[in-house]
């Protein structure tokens, strides 16, 4: 049996905001094809961890490796780190597509324009190729008929599906989802989870911060429980949800039922 390679590896990541330490030495590996669900209460450090992986937040210490390539960092002179190779960051970011809880679509662009922007301007794809790829992706997420619409005229669920199509347009190596349904009305959550479930079936590497426990249990290959900036427990969905070892995880699970 071939050993799986690490798609993303995080080692001893620490992050503080002022005097508050949000991540306290977190280490995590996602193998190719893994779907890792990160769960935990509000303020546990879940979103900060995800944002540190693609350097939207800069860690104070630790390292992030993507596809075997460690992000080069140097001291900022104030107890933190900054990237030492801006081109490397841009290249690795294009491999790590991120879907945000608040959609982050460009409001002055149509759905189609949102999806073709990065392939053209970041990857150097021709406009014709970018449009063909975008139309295929929008069909896939059920939004082809909204190609010419602006985000303001879409429901939250439609905007998030457009954001997923935009993330897929750069043909990412791995995908990061930061609470992709938390800003949606309850009746719109299902349409977004269905699209993500379809991506799981394609064996895409994903790290998913979510508060949808049933969804995490059904789609994740590995679940990580974060509390107070530390990984308290991790394991298969069965281990985490059916046989929690720590009191913290037991309390968390009982609080969401």
Long-range (24+ apart) CB contacts under 8 A made by 13-18 are 13/49, 13/52, 13/59, 13/61, 13/62, 13/63, 13/64, 14/59, 14/60, 14/61, 14/62, 15/45, 15/48, 15/52, 15/57, 15/59, 15/60, 16/60
Q: Domain residue spans in the chain?
A: 6-256
pLDDT in tens, 69-90: 999 999 988 888 999 999 999 8
pLDDT for 257 equals: 63
CATH level 2 (architecture), domain 6-256: 3-Layer(aba) Sandwich (3.40)
Written as six digits, the tokens of 89 are: 């960051």
pLDDT for 1 equals: 42
pLDDT in tens, 120-165: 998 899 999 999 999 999 999 999 999 999 999 999 999 999 999 9
- Number of other residues whose CB lies within 10 A of the CB of residue 13: 23
């Amino acid at each position: 049996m071939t050993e799986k390679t690490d798609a993303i590896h995080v080692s001893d990541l620490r992050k503080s905001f002022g005097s508050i330490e949000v991540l306290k030495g977190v280490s995590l590996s996602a193998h190719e094809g893994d779907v890792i669900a990160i769960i935990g209460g509000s303020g546990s450090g879940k979103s900060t961890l995800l944002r540190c992986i693609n350097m939207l937040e800069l860690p104070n210490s630790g390292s992030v490796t993507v596809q075997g390539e460690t992000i080069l960092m140097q001291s900022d002179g104030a107890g933190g780190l900054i990237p030492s190779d801006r081109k490397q960051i841009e290249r690795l970011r294009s491999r790590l597509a991120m879907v945000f809880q608040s959609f982050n679509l460009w409001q002055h662009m149509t759905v189609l324009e949102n999806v073709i922007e990065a392939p053209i301007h970041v990857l150097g794809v021709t406009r014709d190729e970018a449009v063909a790829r975008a139309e295929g992706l929008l069909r896939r997420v059920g939004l082809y008929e909204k190609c010419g619409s602006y985000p303001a005229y879409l429901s939250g669920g439609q905007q998030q599906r457009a954001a997923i199509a935009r993330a897929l347009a750069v043909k990412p190596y791995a995908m990061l989802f930061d609470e992709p349904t938390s800003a949606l009305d309850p009746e719109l959550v299902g349409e977004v989870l269905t699209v993500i479930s379809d991506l799981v079936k394609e064996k895409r590497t994903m790290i998913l911060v979510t508060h949808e426990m049933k969804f995490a249990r059904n789609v994740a290959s590995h679940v990580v429980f974060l509390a107070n900036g530390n990984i308290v427990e991790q394991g298969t969905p069965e281990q985490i949800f059916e046989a929690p070892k720590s009191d913290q995880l037991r309390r968390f699970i009982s609080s969401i039922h």
